[in-house]
């Protein structure tokens, strides 16, 4: 499966590059997002495969609800990476370089003449969506880490949760700094590398939850001395 994904990535890469071979000198943002998305799927699959190979096939009993929460976080991180690709492909980071507002407005004007295509191509809308999901990720990752600390349901889950939440906060700060400096190359590359690190940690966090051996407790997070 990993080999097949690698071969498909080569085809998607050509499909992306071909959009910039005529009438433009840049690739289509949606094709860039697909190419990056498949690369990150392969990246996460390699991490998961490595963790399984290193630790064997002995799986735990994930605490109720935690696996779902960890999977939602991983999905949200992946979606944010795709939105970041749309921002990069459309050069949306070069406009509205103020924060927290966008040129002094909460909702910048978007060109809806393209219909639903505005979500892929409009610079204001793609940057706004990227910001909005970032805020949601900050809240979600922070609440997830707080609950993991509060309930202490399984060994290792708290550390994985706090590491992920910390990386999300650092990535958000880096994104703001990158935007307010109009995306210099070195900051843009660093921000993209940060996205890969956050995705790797979200993948590892889900793996940890699925392998967890839940502690027994009676009625709350502080019971049994936890």
Q: Write down the domain spans for the chain.
A: 62-108+117-225
Q: Residue 59 CA to chain centroid, in angstroms? A: 25
With a cut of 60, say whether residue 189 has pLDDT above it. yes
Tell me the mean pLDDT in the region 71-94: 94
What pLDDT score does 224 carry? Answer: 32
Of residues 21 and 136, which shows the higher confidence score? Answer: 136
Cβ–Cβ under 8 Å, residues 38 and 30: no
Residues paired with 102 in a beta bridge: 105
Where does 19-122 have alpha helices with state H? Answer: 29-55, 66-89, 118-121
Q: If pLDDT is split at 50, 70 and 90, which confidence band does 45 have? A: very high
User: In angstroms, what is the C-alpha Rg of the chain?
Assistant: 20
Q: Which two tokens stand for residue 198?
A: 């956050």
With a cut of 90, say whether residue 46 has pLDDT above it. yes
What pLDDT score does 22 carry? Answer: 61
Q: What percent of the chain has pLDDT over 90?
A: 56
What pLDDT score does 117 carry? Answer: 81
In degrees, rounded to 5, the angle at the alpha carbon of residue 37 between the alpha carbons of residues 63 and 171 is 70
pTM value?
0.87
Q: How many helices (H) and strands (E) does the chain have?
A: 7, 0
With a cut of 90, say whether residue 153 has pLDDT above it. no
What pLDDT score does 218 carry? Answer: 35
């Amino acid at each position: 499966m990993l080999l097949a994904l690698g071969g498909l990535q080569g085809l998607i890469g050509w499909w992306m590059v071909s959009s910039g071979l005529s009438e433009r000198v840049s690739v289509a943002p949606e094709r860039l997002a697909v190419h990056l998305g498949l690369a990150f799927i392969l990246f996460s699959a390699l991490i998961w495969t490595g963790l399984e190979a290193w630790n064997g096939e002995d799986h735990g009993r994930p605490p109720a609800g935690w696996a779902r929460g960890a999977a939602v976080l991983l999905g949200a991180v992946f979606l944010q990476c795709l939105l970041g690709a749309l921002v990069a492909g459309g050069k949306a980071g070069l406009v509205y370089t103020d924060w927290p507002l966008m040129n002094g407005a909460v909702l910048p004007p978007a060109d809806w003449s393209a219909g639903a295509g505005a979500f892929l191509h409009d610079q204001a809308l793609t940057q706004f969506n990227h910001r909005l999901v970032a805020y949601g990720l900050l809240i979600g990752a922070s609440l997830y880490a707080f609950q993991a600390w509060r309930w202490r349901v399984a060994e290792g889950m708290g550390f994985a949760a706090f590491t992920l939440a910390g990386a999300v906060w650092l990535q958000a700060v880096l994104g703001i700094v990158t935007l307010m400096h109009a995306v210099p190359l070195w900051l843009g590359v660093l921000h993209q590398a940060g996205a890969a690190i956050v995705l790797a940690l979200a993948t590892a966090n889900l793996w940890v939850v699925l392998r967890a051996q839940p502690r027994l407790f009676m009625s709350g997070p502080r019971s049994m001395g936890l």
